[in-house]
Structure 1
Amino acid sequence: MTLLPKDNSLTDVQPEKTQGNQLFPVFLKLNNLHTVLVGAGNVGLEKLTALLQNSPAATVTVISKTFLTDVHLLASIHPQVNIIQKPFTDTDLDGADLVIAATNDSELNKYVRQSAHDRKLLINVADKPELCDFYLGSIVQKGDLKIAISTNGKSPTIAKRLKEVLGEALPAELDITLQQMSEVRNTLAGDFTHKVKELNRVTAVLVGTQKPPSNLNLKLLVWGMSIVFLLIVIASLWYREPAFRGYVETIPPMFYYFLGAGFVFALVDGAIGMSYGVTSTTFSLSMGIPPASASMGVHLSEIMSNGIAGWMHYRMGNVNWKLFKLLLLPGIVGAVTGAYLLSSLEHYAQYTKPAVSLYTLILGCVILSKAINLNRKRTKAKIKNISLLGLGGGFIDAVGGGGWGSIVLSTLIAGGRHPRFSLGTVKLSRFFIALMGSLTFITMLNSSHWDAVAGLVIGSALASPVAARISNKISAKAIMVSVAVIVILISIRSIFNFLMKVI
């Protein structure tokens, strides 16, 4: 406790010295202020650009004897920027709210600073921290979210590097979350304390302390459609496939092979977000399953596994709904078209099988390439033709028995989309695409390989809850390389066997 003098005077009480950055961060409404910028060279251009990038409607008066062409260009784009070509005088600060000195004349900068202080105005002097009342920090912006970085004037270079790191790490989708939180805030009723508690509860998911609230409608939709579809499949098999009834008494060994394979492939898919289709199809072809039946088995097994995985990703907040809508309908159209075409060629399996093997060989090479380039920096130009990507991905996936993850997910990530949001969105959309593709296959085919299909369905479903949670706990690169090598070798073996028969 500090004892004050008897006269209650505070003049002898010295403030405790503290270490570190003593700056107080604020965000100014430059649209409502008048900023005077002295200097229009390279430094002045840099300051003016920073002001207008953050506040495009800011009122700025630029005073200088000479001007760069780019300064005039900015002024032509922003009509509220006023250009005055003349030497600076102290009366130029009449009516100013904020001052920035950006000349290469140190004496002039000091004169501008003294003129500003005479009028009780705050000033920033370029490259002179000791003369500044405030600094212009590096800015990271994601829509309405803005983060300012300060090094207390010690190292602007470090501030710029931190800006790059944060700009890369923070997803663009964060602005969508911000807008949604604003809507939630506007709908809250009650006193201030209640609103704060409710907003704390909702935003706890951002730091991983609480799961997001469940959406009953989506949950009922996914599980309801899965149950109804399963009942339709069972009824169809019961009346159309006599062999299916025999499975109740005698389960073929093939079921157990595919049960284990489906479980392993689903775990791998959960870890790297792709390759379930291509690995399952490659394995099915190696076990003598025709391409159309193999693709049907993959799509049937992916309904429940992707429904569960998609729901888990939704609960973890990993779904970009705008991207989901752009992928869904084109993906369904492509999958139905591809399933219809492949089913129509089921009687020519001896010719379609090597073609599908060639496709899985290519996908294996793609996966291997992705593994090699896994740690390379992504391009910042996001892919724009999302609907076309969904259409092509759905078609190729149905024809080849896989590739939705390898094609769509890898393309989204390579195009600058955030990996976590891309993975969750692709998983959830895959549920609906696999559902419609499977209905097409069932309508078109009279398969006799239901033991393999049942094994894949049950095995992948058992692995799905675990797979969604291991995506960040296993070395994705090691798994991708292993999967790629296995797929390539099996595909080459299948193609070689076909060529030997032909020859």
Structure 2
Amino acid sequence: MTLLPRNKLKTETQPEDSRGNKLFPVFLKLENLQTVVVGGGNVGLEKLNALLQNSPLATVKVISKAFLPDIHVMAVTYPNIRIVQKSFADTDLDGADLVIAATNDANLNKYIRQSAHDHKLLINVADKPELCDFYLSSIVQKGDLKLAISTNGKSPTIAKRLKEVLNDALPAELDTTLQQMNAIRNGLSGNFAYKVKELNRVSAVLVNGPKPPDKKYLTLLVWGTFVAFLSITILALWYKEPEFQFYVRSINPAFYYFLGAGFVFAMIDGAIGMSYGVTSTTFSLSMGIPPASASMGVHLSEIMSNGIAGWMHYRMGNVNWKLFKLLLIPGIIGAVSGAYLLSSLEHYSQYTKPVVSLYTLILGGVILLKAIRLNRKQHTQKKIKRIGLLGLGGGFIDAVGGGGWGSIVLSSLIAGGRHPRFSLGTVKLSRFFIALMSSLTFITMLNGAHWEAVAGLIIGSALASPVAAKISNKISAKAIMFSVSFIVILISLRSIINFLIKII
């Protein structure tokens, strides 16, 4: 390894170039070098972990007067790690190639740096960018593919966050692609121009991305499903609801209230990605609609609105298809089960209504907390692994309470570190099929419903859906979330208090 001469090393007196990152990236074969780490505490352990995670065969000598137990364990696990329990001396750098100063003593770190430079060695000093000749990067690795991220020592936190984003965005299968590309490269014959042409043809998929499902077939699936559902609904209404025939001649004034409400609630849902179910259910209960009928009205209206919104998100490339498949079937099972249970208790609506109001009260509190924490720095939770269980629970609670799919599923996905835009698009599209199945369950179970409310919500939300999908990232959500939460909480409390007054 050729190192810089002493007068070429960066010193504290040299000005920092503020016009961008001028660092030269390089990947070292640490198994062929001798690395010295000075420090056996938490900082030394962190540096040692960084070295061994990337180069398990690295040859490292760790020098310190005391060591954490974890470092002793690492010395046993990795045979190329050698622990030397003593105070640092200049002679400890004899034969070294790289030095890392990781003590909590600033003066000692400066002394180690000077000693390293006297030996013409490059050194990294923990948490002191101005004393470093090189930085340890945040690393994203997918098999043989390795990406190093540097912020020029300005913000390790930014580097860490970028690492998390890239690690999530780059699929593990990319290493398989790399191996296949290497095999193709080694198997190509012909002149250089031919090899370049063939490699460009094969690697085009990396530039253009994986081919999404054929738009023609997805269009047929969505609209075919909708037409089939509409046909079943009309037949069910024709045979079970004689008064449905008279709605053509006379429209209940309540229709217009629900039409406006459906439009407003769908716009709010498009802006913040949640709350349509809870706001629509709260409004319906306040207008005297029983819980099961209220939930049916919400889910019937969400079929068209979520179908349109899901289609818009699909056209904008906002759907994670793997996540969609994991959510869909468990979500449908949970929604159908919840709809069946709530419909079975429709005759006891005077008792189920305060229970649902309590649920909407809780959801209102959840939305309020999210509004308060919206601009605060929050630690990302571990990514949720049991997506099916999340979909099952979200679908069930959504059907029973008339809403909550967005508040539960979308919030959990985003809190678990998934990309907000792709999570929103995926949840919207899966919601179409879940609302469809729960609505069919409600229609077959209920003998009567408030169709003026259902029709108003359906048309109002459908009118708002194409616009709502496009404004999802153009409106400040905080004020809307505060307003929604206060309205939901107040109306839910009113319903609960009225129930308590009646029984007292």
TM-score, normalised to structure 1's length?
0.78
User: Within 1, Cα distance between the matches of 2:400 and 2:318?
Assistant: 28
State the partner residue of 2:450: 449
Flag the 1:181–1:436 CA change in 2: closer, same or farther, 3 A: farther
For residue 372 of structure 2, what is the aligned residue in structure 1? 372
> Offset at 1:338?
1.3
1:294/1:386 CA distance change after superposition, 3 Å: same
Distance in 1, matches of 2:18 and 2:358, equals 69
Asked if 1:358 corresponds to 2:354, the answer is: no
User: Equivalent residue for 2:429?
Assistant: 428
The one-letter code matched in structure 1 to 2:337 is T
Amino acid at match of 1:173: D
Could you list the runs of 5+ residues in structure 2 that have no partner in the other structure?
Answer: 1-16, 103-107, 186-195
CA distance in structure 1 between the aligned counterparts of 2:326 and 2:55, rounded to whole angstroms = 31
- Residues 393-404 of structure 1 aligned to structure 2 (within 5 Å): 393-404=394-405
Is residue 2:297 matched to residue 1:297? yes
- Structure 1 residues 216 and 101: CA distance shift in structure 2, 3 A: same
The alpha-carbon deviation at position 63 of structure 1 amounts to: 6.3
> Would you say the 8 A contact 1:295–1:399 is kept in 2?
yes
SS in 1 for 2:248: coil
Using the alignment, how far apart are the partners of 1:18 and 1:71 within structure 2?
Answer: 38
Corresponding residue number in structure 2 for 1:12: none
* 1:102 Cα deviation after fit: 4.1
Aligned partners of 1:319 and 1:361: how far apart in 2?
Answer: 31
1:171-202 deviations in Å (ceiling 9; x for gaps): 65312398399489969995345567664444
Paired residue secondary structure (1:251) = coil
Q: Hey, what does 2:328 align to over in structure 1?
A: 328
AA in 2 matched with 1:148: I
Provide Cα deviations, 1:360-389, integer angstroms capped at 9, x if missing partner: 222222222221222233333334554433
> Does the aligned pair in 1 maintain the 2:109–2:125 contact within 8 Å?
no
Are the structure 2 counterparts of residues 339 and 38 from structure 1 closer, same or farther at C-alpha, using a change threshold of 3 Å?
closer
The 5-angstrom pairing of residues 35-434 of structure 1 reads 35-37=34-36, 39=38, 41=40, 45-53=45-53, 55-62=54-61, 64=63, 68-69=67-68, 70-83=70-83, 93=95, 98-100=97-99, 102=101, 104=108, 123-124=122-123, 126=125, 135-139=134-138, 141=140, 146-151=147-152, 156=153, 158-164=154-160, 166-167=162-163, 170=165, 172-176=167-171, 179=174, 182=177, 191-194=198-201, 199-202=206-209, 215-382=215-382, 383-434=384-435
Q: CA deviation at 1:450?
A: 2.0
- 1: CA distance between counterparts of 2:267 and 2:329? 27
Structure 1 unaligned blocks of 5 or more: 1-16, 204-210
Distance 1:63 1:352, change over 3 A: closer
Letter in 1 for 2:273: G
Q: Distance in 1 between matches of 2:307 and 2:74?
A: 52
Deviates more, 1:232-241 or 1:141-150: 141-150
In the other structure, the counterpart of 1:11 is: none
1: distance between equivalents of 2:309 and 2:361?
Answer: 27
Partner SS, residue 61 of structure 2: strand
- Name the SS for the 1:485 alignment partner: helix
Task: Verify the 8 A CA contact 1:379 1:416 in the aligned structure 2.
Answer: no
Q: Report the alpha carbon displacement of residue 330 of structure 1 after superposing the two structures with TM.
A: 2.8
- 1:350 is displaced (CA, Å) by 2.6
Task: Give the drift of 1:265.
Answer: 0.8
Check the 8 A contact 1:378/1:415 in 2, yes or no: no
| Secondary structure of the structure 1 residue equivalent to 2:155 | helix
CA contact (8 A) 1:101 1:113 kept: no
Q: State whether residues 100 and 125 of structure 1, in contact with CA within 8 Å, keep that contact through their aligned partners in structure 2.
A: yes
Q: Give the residue type in structure 1 aligned to 2:59.
A: V
SS of alignment partner, residue 269 of structure 2: helix
Q: Deviation digits for residues 450-487 of structure 1, max 9, x if unmatched?
A: 23212212221221121112111112111111111222
Identical positions, percent: 62
1:484 corresponding residue in structure 2: 485
Aligned letter for 2:174? Q
Q: Which amino acid is 1:406 matched to?
A: S
CA contact (8 A) 2:265 2:276 kept: yes
**When the two structures are superposed, what TM-score results if normalisation uses the length of structure 2?**
0.78
The separation in 2 between residues aligned to 1:497 and 1:39, in whole angstroms, is 70
1:343 shift after superposition: 0.8
**Alpha-carbon spacing, 1:99–1:408, altered in 2? closer, same or farther (3 Å):** same
How has the CA–CA distance of structure 1 residues 457 and 147 changed in structure 2, closer, same or farther, with 3 Å as cutoff?
farther
- How many pairs were matched up? 463
* Equivalent residue letter for 2:456: G
Q: C-alpha displacement at 1:431, in angstroms?
A: 1.9
Q: Report the CA distance shift for 1:249/1:79 in structure 2 as closer, same or farther (over 3 A).
A: farther
Partner of 2:10: none
Q: CA deviation at 1:312?
A: 2.8
Q: Give the 3 Å change call, closer, same or farther, for CA 171–367 of structure 1 in structure 2.
A: farther
Alpha-carbon distance between aligned partners in 2 of 1:384 and 1:18, rounded to the nearest angstrom: 42
Over the aligned positions, Cα root-mean-square deviation in angstroms equals: 3.9
Describe the shift of the 1:76–1:452 C-alpha distance in structure 2 as closer, same or farther (beyond 3 A).
Answer: same
Distance 1:162 1:264 in 2: 38
Contact 1:305 1:464 in 2 (8 A): yes
In structure 1, the residue corresponding to 2:149 is in which secondary structure? strand
Change (3 A) 1:269 1:131: closer
How many Å separate the matches in 1 of 2:235 and 2:79?
71
Equivalent position amino acid for 1:334 in 2 = G
Question: Quick one: structure 1 residues 91 and 300, their matched pair in 2 at CA, closer, same or farther if it must change by over 3 Å?
Answer: closer
The letter for the 2-side match of 1:37 is: V
Look up the equivalent residue of 2:359 and give its one-letter code: Y
